[in-house]
Structure 1
Amino acid sequence: MNEKKLIPVIMAGGSGSRLWPLSRTHYPKQFISLVNDDSMLQNTITRLDSLSKSEPIIICNNEHRFMVAEQLRNIGVNNASIILEPVGRNTAPAIALAAFKAISDGNDPLLLVLAADHVITKESAFIESVNKAKDAANDGMLVTFGIVPSHPETGYGYIKQGKHLGNSLFQVEAFVEKPDLETAESYFSSKLYSWNSGMFLFKASTYLSELKKYNPEIYDICKLAIASTYSDLDFIRISKDIFDKCPDDSIDYAVMEKTDKAIIVPMDAGWSDVGSWSALWGIHNKDEAGNACRGDVLLDSTTNSYIYAQNKLVTTVGVSDLVIVETKDAILVAHKDKVQNVKNIVNRLKDMGRNEYQHHLDIYRPWGKHEQIAEGDRYHVKKITVRPGEKTATQIHYHRAEHWIVVSGTAKVLNGDETYLVSENQSTYIPIGSPHSFENPGRVDLELVEVRTGNYLSEDDIVRIGTDGEGY
């Protein structure tokens, strides 16, 4: 049998709140560096280097598209297919979009479906499990990877192993929901149950065939949606009018619980879905007192705590079992046993109409990013970074003027009818009502400070002219 090409399919559409204040609606955990210098999305892709040379298919939502593209570029992935879901419809439709895309060139590759926000600490074991599953997937089976449990866990669904098929392959006997503690303990002691990881391997055609059999509505709508795609910069967009009609269903409910082709491969690879701050503490290296720290942290008489300092020195004295997370605009202090209640804080921020639940002070754009520094009644200060060769949209403001001071690099500025260069330590003034934009003609990042002044400074005071870039 000729082994088929393997294409990674990365599900990157989550926007969870359990790791607030690092994870936010517009900057969720898959884009954050939690365990090393790379983000979880980047780690998910780079651990596949020995398994596949194919560029991945990434499924994400519109709000996160620029972060996905930038993080892929930073690790040298330049030709990925980035499919933008106009609305979230769960995993069954998302995987169907990827499968239809994968067969669009006439091939029928294996799809390795992974979440972008999981941690794997034993990469060799992960690779070994995937390799064991390839033959079954090539033979037309739907393989799911079950995590060998390390303890009774009530926060995960489980998969029960059926008949042993050899080479660490088992028939799937049943998918079961999250159990109570007594049931979880019985699952753990039986050694017949694995945690449901949400990772899969199968031929694109096999998945689509089984989806068509058991959920033809999802199949038909996703087929129509992929036929309607169009390119937008680095992205593949699909019709919202079409995809909006798609049922919201997981792959487990739509296919895996119904098919007779489901196979499980147990995996013992140091897996975690990092579903809480206490889970992140659990997978980190710790000092002799049980503390896991990142950033500028100084401890005294502190035990069994997780401390994350993003921008400032964080010190602790005489505390235990705490989670302390510092960001530019928020600080979380929680007992390690109560971190599941972080979502209550996020909900209260949302109800209060505060921005801290949605985004950080750093806002990413296709041309770079900007960061709020300070604001008052009649002023607003930002630091702006523009990548080489990129530019902003031409725009007009009717309630504010802007002062731009170049900190490093060179800006090519359009200001009314004039175009001119502004170099390091120089500045320029943009009066109210003047069409303006700036671009980076150089080979290094352009950094400038923008000072807005006026009686109305909100982001909606903007009129874009043409389509030559995107505003900020």
Structure 2
Amino acid sequence: MVPLILSGGAGTRLWPVSRRAHPKPFMQLADGQSLAEKTWLRARSVAGDAPILTVTSRDYYFYTRDLYEKLGAGPDQSRFLLEPMGRNTAPAIALAALWVRDHVGPGASMLVMPADHLIRDTAAFEEAVRAAHELAGQGQLATFGMHPTHPETGFGYIRQGPAIEGTQGYQVDAFVEKPDLDTAKAYLASGDYFWNSGMFCFTAEVLLAAMAEHAPEVLAAAEVTWQATATEATPVELPAEPFSRCPSISIDYAVMENAGNAAVVPGDFGWSDIGSWKAISELYQSDDAGNRVRGKAVLVDSRGCFVQGDQRLVAAVGLEDVVIVDTGDAVLVAHRDQAQDVGQVVRQLTELEDEAAIYHQTVHRPWGSYTILEDAEDCKVKRLVVKPGQVLSLQLHHQRAEHWTVVQGTAKVRLGDEEFLLEANQSTYIPVETLHRLENPGTEDVHLIEVQTGAYFGEDDIERFEDIYGRA
């Protein structure tokens, strides 16, 4: 069985912590682990000797790979398909099935898991996976249905059909859309409905046959893309032109809702899709007033509030059922009952072309990271951290000059045609329109302060000529 991790969603409802450049799967929870790390460990527990396949984008590849390696992933344990753009789950799963067919075998099962879900009871999850794996071997398209605990309007539902003899599964009678509150209450009272978890298990050949029957246009576009792909590369990068012709549609709409061989395995393993700040808040212990806090906060005459402050003290007075999230460069204040509407903030920021929709103060790059210390009209100041052996692209800027001062480590600098080393407390100046590159030739991180001066400091004022990460 090959675990397939889908890691591509932006998680806009969890802004300002989840942003396009560092989305929801990379959010750290209270225990210090990210959702992506938890998902990989969960996949490892059921994979046996099979590799774990992750479908993500080039933007997230290096950071995801580094997370997996910190967990002990070897080169043969983690494989990657890199999408040039998001086209929803059906094309991603179709191309993953083609990879499994060609690299593992058409009869191999695929366990499809989003990278941004939380599962608290791993043992119960593994038991449900074994049941789904058995159903997949019988030609079923298995999904996992969660026993509803309250009338949730933010999830799709699955109506349970007859039991499948000799298994722990049931036939799917119907997939139903997210209901209104009264309908959700009726679903809960009937006992015939599960929450649709968005996780699946099926063999590659059964999934591809179902796509040929129910979504032939998706499968055809995926096969054309696969034929144009260097499938033995590491990672496997899907070519943009054929992939862009894949219809953007979910696997639920494309296949599951139309298939006659869909099955559901009931689950009770503490699943959550962590889809809002309300869901995040429920991961924390509350005080006697129902308040939950991460970070440093003072609450006076306040009830039912959630406060997360990563850097600064947050104080709240006389509030009830309010979410406050402070990331240092942005603050969210929302009523708990409207936590699902935070995505509208991101839409407005995107329309305004505000970088707060995309970037944090600290931005992760394949070579390390940078943190914005000041962003003014006449200058921009960053702290760069370059990992051992890593190299920034050979580049120049058309609208800004840069001053580099090394704080820690030894940096190798190319400036025009000249190369030299900079030690701690040494600095250099990069004029506008000058080729330059920064490298860490040592065994410890290089920290340096970059001061930008000029008329424009946007990240799009970078012209790359060489880049070991394929961004040139």
Contact 2:43 2:52 survives alignment (8 Å)? no
C-alpha separation between the residues in 2 aligned to 1:470 and 1:361?
24
2:256 paired with 1:256: yes
C-alpha separation between the residues in 1 aligned to 2:224 and 2:38?
33
1:76 — aligned with what? Answer: 72
Deviations 1:387-409 (A, max 9, x none): 11001112223443322111111
How far 1:262 moved relative to its partner? 1.2
Contact 1:349 1:357 survives alignment (8 Å)? yes
2:21 — aligned with what? Answer: 26
2:53 paired with 1:57: yes
Contact 2:157 2:178 survives alignment (8 Å)? yes
Mark the CA change 1:405 to 1:186 in structure 2 (over 3 Å): closer, same or farther. same
Deviations 1:282-314 (A, max 9, x none): 233323332222223333443321111112122
1:174 — aligned with what? Answer: 174
Deviations 1:34-79 (A, max 9, x none): 3431111111111233211433211123433333233223323243
Mark the CA change 1:225 to 1:269 in structure 2 (over 3 Å): closer, same or farther. same
Residue type at the aligned position of 1:281 = S
* 3-state DSSP of counterpart to 1:320: coil
How far 1:469 moved relative to its partner? 5.4
2:126 paired with 1:127: yes
Deviations 1:11-39 (A, max 9, x none): 11111311111112222211111343111
Residue type at the aligned position of 1:75 = L
* 3-state DSSP of counterpart to 1:296: strand
How far 1:383 moved relative to its partner? 0.6
Contact 1:69 1:234 survives alignment (8 Å)? no
Contact 1:394 1:468 survives alignment (8 Å)? no
State how 1:37-436 maps to structure 2 within 5 Å. 37-53=32-48, 54-79=50-75, 80-105=78-103, 107=105, 108-165=107-164, 166-230=166-230, 235-436=235-436
C-alpha separation between the residues in 1 aligned to 2:306 and 2:37?
23
Contact 1:365 1:470 survives alignment (8 Å)? no
Contact 1:389 1:443 survives alignment (8 Å)? yes
Choose 277-286 or 445-454, whichever is displaced more: 277-286
Say what the alpha-carbon RMSD is for the aligned residues: 2.2
Residue type at the aligned position of 1:370 = Y
Mark the CA change 1:187 to 1:222 in structure 2 (over 3 Å): closer, same or farther. same
Contact 1:218 1:247 survives alignment (8 Å)? yes
C-alpha separation between the residues in 2 aligned to 1:368 and 1:232?
27
* 3-state DSSP of counterpart to 1:49: helix
Choose 214-223 or 58-67, whichever is displaced more: 58-67
C-alpha separation between the residues in 1 aligned to 2:173 and 2:179?
17
Residue type at the aligned position of 1:13 = G
Choose 287-296 or 355-364, whichever is displaced more: 287-296
Mark the CA change 1:94 to 1:458 in structure 2 (over 3 Å): closer, same or farther. closer
* 3-state DSSP of counterpart to 1:51: helix
Contact 2:302 2:318 survives alignment (8 Å)? yes
Contact 2:146 2:194 survives alignment (8 Å)? yes
Residue type at the aligned position of 2:14 = L
* 3-state DSSP of counterpart to 1:308: strand
How far 1:101 moved relative to its partner? 0.6
Q: Normalized against structure 1, the TM-score is what? A: 0.93
* 3-state DSSP of counterpart to 2:145: strand
Contact 1:174 1:257 survives alignment (8 Å)? yes
Unaligned runs of 5+ in 1: 1-5
Contact 1:89 1:248 survives alignment (8 Å)? yes
Mark the CA change 1:362 to 1:19 in structure 2 (over 3 Å): closer, same or farther. same
Mark the CA change 1:232 to 1:453 in structure 2 (over 3 Å): closer, same or farther. farther
1:3 — aligned with what? Answer: none
Choose 160-169 or 60-69, whichever is displaced more: 60-69
Residue type at the aligned position of 2:96 = A
2:6 — aligned with what? Answer: 11
Residue type at the aligned position of 2:61 = R
Mark the CA change 1:470 to 1:378 in structure 2 (over 3 Å): closer, same or farther. farther
How far 1:438 moved relative to its partner? 1.2
* 3-state DSSP of counterpart to 1:230: coil
Q: Percent identity?
A: 42
How far 1:447 moved relative to its partner? 0.9
C-alpha separation between the residues in 2 aligned to 1:413 and 1:232?
35
Contact 1:172 1:262 survives alignment (8 Å)? yes
How far 1:456 moved relative to its partner? 4.0
Choose 223-232 or 191-200, whichever is displaced more: 223-232
Contact 2:44 2:52 survives alignment (8 Å)? no
Deviations 1:312-370 (A, max 9, x none): 12233343211110112101111212222322322222232211112212222211111
Mark the CA change 1:86 to 1:455 in structure 2 (over 3 Å): closer, same or farther. closer
Contact 1:392 1:471 survives alignment (8 Å)? no
Residue type at the aligned position of 1:434 = T
Unaligned runs of 5+ in 2: none
Contact 1:366 1:470 survives alignment (8 Å)? no
* 3-state DSSP of counterpart to 1:92: helix
Mark the CA change 1:377 to 1:175 in structure 2 (over 3 Å): closer, same or farther. closer
Runs of 4+ in 1 over 4 A off after TM superposition: 231-234, 468-472
Deviations 1:93-122 (A, max 9, x none): 111111101111252321100111111122
Deviations 1:125-155 (A, max 9, x none): 1111111222221222111100110012222
Residue type at the aligned position of 1:368 = G
Residue type at the aligned position of 2:118 = V
Mark the CA change 1:106 to 1:280 in structure 2 (over 3 Å): closer, same or farther. closer
Mark the CA change 1:403 to 1:140 in structure 2 (over 3 Å): closer, same or farther. same
